[in-house]
Structure 1
C-alpha cells in the first residue's frame, strides 16, 4: 500500500468537518480494497501546529484479510496563529516529504503512512496507521528511565540509518533545512523574544533560567561554525511528547521539524527536555553511553570527546525551542505550562553540564 504523492488528485480536507464518511470512503476504499460502511471521526492529541483525528472504520465483512479498524488523519491547524508558524518553518511540506521520500530508509519505528498529500501551507493531509494501545509520552511528567533508554535506542537508529555512511540520497528540499534546535536564525529569534518570555513566566521558572538566557545570548553572538560529531537526518523535536510508548519499541511521530544537521542536537535536546529533574539530576554518562553503544552496534564510530562538547553546546536547545514555540503557538494554559517546563529542564540541563565540565 503506497502513499499518495503531493501532486496527486486527493481532495485534501481544509477543516475537520471536511473529514466525512464520504471522504473516507473515496480515499480509503481503493487503498484497502474493501467497502466502508461507517466511520466515526473523533479529535485526538494536542498538536501545536496541526489537527489530528482518529477515524474508527467499519468495513463490510466479505473480505478475508481485514483492513484496519482505525486510522489517524492529520490536517493543518485550525488556529491561524499555528498555521502561520507552520508556514514560517515549512512544517507541512517537510512532514509530507519525510513520509514520501525518507520514511522507508529510517531505522526508527514509525507508523505506516497510507496517504501523504501537500498542496500549500494551508492544505496538507496525512493518513497514518493508528498505533492502537500506545500512549504518547507525558511531557509534563517526563519519561521514566526505561522510556529514556528505549527512546535513545530509537534516536540512534534514526541517526545511524541516515548518516553519510548509510548511502541514502538526501532529498534536495531537505538539504538546506536547519532544525530549530541548531539554527542560528532560530537562536537569534529566541534571544530577541527572551525578555517577553521572562516577563510572562519569571514567577514560575527555575532559578537557572535567568543565567541560561544570558548564556543563550552569548551563544548567539559567538555563532562559531564547528565540526559536527555526526551528520544525519534530525527529527528536530525529539522529546517524550513526540513518542508513543507501551507497544514494544517506541514509535516516533510528528516529523514536521525534520532536517539535516548535527545528530547530537537531537540527543542533547531529548535529555534536556524529557528527563524530569524533580527526583535526581540526570546521569548524562549513562544516556550518552546508551546512545554511543547503539551507534557502534550499527557500525558508526564517533569521537566521544567531540560528542561531549557538542552535547554541552546544544544544552540550551530546549530553551530556544520553548521560547520560539511559545511565541508562535496559540496561548493556552496547557501550552504555557509545557513551554515553561521545557525551559526549566533545559536550563537545569545546561547548569548540570557546566558543573560537570
Structure 2
C-alpha cells in the first residue's frame, strides 16, 4: 500500500492511465454515469434484476472529481444517489491521478469508512488501475435529513459542536495510529505532503500579489516565516499527537443533522496531527462564530476525545496545537484560491481564505510557529 500511493509512481503512471482511458472500452470499467446500466444499479441497490427502469442526471459538477447526482427510477419509486468518478477533462484527470485523490477515496470507503463512525456508507467503491477510472456511489444524505453549509455561509454553533464531536470520535478510534503496521498500510500516509508542503509554504509565504489584495493589512509580512522556514513546516505540522484524520475538514465537507454530523470527501485522509482537523475547521469557519465559541468548542473536543478512556490532552498543549495548525487551514484555502473558481465557487474561495487569514491574526499563529521552531518541544 505504501508504494502504491507513493508520489513518484503516481507521476509516472498518470499519463499512461490518461492514454489508456482513451482506448479501453467502457465495458472494462465505467467512465461516466452513462456507462452504468440498469443491471448495475439493480445490484448496488439490492433490488431484484429488472427492477431499475432508467436514471436521470439531476446535477453535475466538474472539479477535482466528476460529481453527479442521479435519480434512479425502479419498481416501487425512485432513489437519488450521489456518484463520484475520476474527472474526464484531461487536466483535471491528470491532476487527480497524480494526487491519487479518487484512488485514495475508493480505498478509504472500501476498507476503512465503516470504522470511523463519521462517514457515509458507500453503496459501491470501484477502482480500475489500468485506466484510473473510479466509481464511488453514496446515498443522497439530504434524503436522510442531512444538510450542507457552503464555505461562504455560516454554520450554527450547534452544527459546529456536532462537527467537533464527529472529529473527536474519529481521532479517538484511531488514536496514536497504534493499529497501523510499520509501513502504515492500514491507511496510507499522505506522502505528497513531504515534498508538497515545503513548496507550498515557500510560495505562499511570499504572498503572491493576486492573494495579497484579499488579505488583512500586514498579513504578508507575518507570513514570511513559512517561506523562510519552509523546509521545517511538514515536520512541525506532524509533530503533535497522531491519529487518522480527514485532512480537509472545512464546513463544506460536513453534512449536518440535528443528532450528528458526518464528514464527506475523504480524498486526502491520512495519518497526521489530530487537532489539525479541528484547527482547519475553525480557521475557515465564520469569524464571529469562531471568536465567540472557539474555546468552548475546543473544550468540547477534548472532552469527547477523552470519553470512554480515550486520550487526554492538556488545555495548554491543545490550545498551542490549535494556534499552530490553524496555519494549515490558511494554506489549504490559499491553494484553492490560486485555482480561481475551478475548484470552488469564487465566494467560497475568497471567504475561506479571508477567514483563515483573520484567524491566524487573531491567534498570533505565526508567532506560535516561530516560537515552536525556535524551541521545539521534547517528545
Q: Secondary structure at the match of 1:33?
A: coil
Alpha carbons 2:85, 2:133 under 8 Å: kept? yes
2:286 is aligned with 1:276: yes
User: 1:117-172, CA deviations, whole angstroms, 9 ceiling, x for partnerless residues?
Assistant: 11247411101111114322220123221111110001111111122487577961
User: 1:203-233, CA deviations, whole angstroms, 9 ceiling, x for partnerless residues?
Assistant: 2323254245323224424448468443211
Give the alignment's TM-score, normalised by structure 2. Answer: 0.77
User: Superposition pairs for residues 121-270 of structure 1, below 5 Å?
Assistant: 122-131=132-141, 132=143, 133-164=145-176, 167=179, 172=185, 174-178=187-191, 183-194=193-204, 198-207=208-217, 209-223=219-233, 225=235, 228-246=239-257, 248-270=259-281
- 2: CA distance, partners of 1:219 / 1:336: 30
- 2: CA distance, partners of 1:135 / 1:258: 22
- Alignment partner of 2:47 out of 30, 33, 36: 33
Q: CA RMSD in A?
A: 3.1
The structure, 1 or 2, with the larger RCO (C-alpha pairs under 8 Å, 6+ apart) is 1
> Mind listing any 5+ residue stretches in structure 2 that lack a counterpart?
1-25, 369-379
Counterpart residue number, 1:43 = 59
2:363 is aligned with 1:353: yes
Counterpart residue number, 1:338 = 348
> Mind listing any 5+ residue stretches in structure 1 that lack a counterpart?
1-8
Hey, which bits of structure 1, 4+ residues long, moved more than 6 A? 168-171
- 2: CA distance, partners of 1:151 / 1:60: 37
Alpha carbons 2:202, 2:226 under 8 Å: kept? no
- 2: CA distance, partners of 1:39 / 1:271: 39
Q: Secondary structure at the match of 1:118?
A: strand
- 2: CA distance, partners of 1:261 / 1:280: 23
Once the 2 structures are TM-superposed, how far is the Cα of residue 267 of structure 1 from its aligned partner? 1.3
- 2: CA distance, partners of 1:341 / 1:186: 24
Alpha carbons 1:229, 1:303 under 8 Å: kept? no
Q: Secondary structure at the match of 1:281?
A: helix
Counterpart residue number, 1:53 = 68
- 1: CA distance, partners of 2:247 / 2:307: 23
Give the alignment's TM-score, normalised by structure 1. Answer: 0.81
Alpha carbons 1:208, 1:347 under 8 Å: kept? no
Q: Call closer, same or farther: CA 1:28–1:16 in 2, change over 3 Å.
A: closer
Q: Secondary structure at the match of 1:315?
A: helix
Q: Call closer, same or farther: CA 1:124–1:197 in 2, change over 3 Å.
A: farther
Alpha carbons 1:117, 1:124 under 8 Å: kept? yes
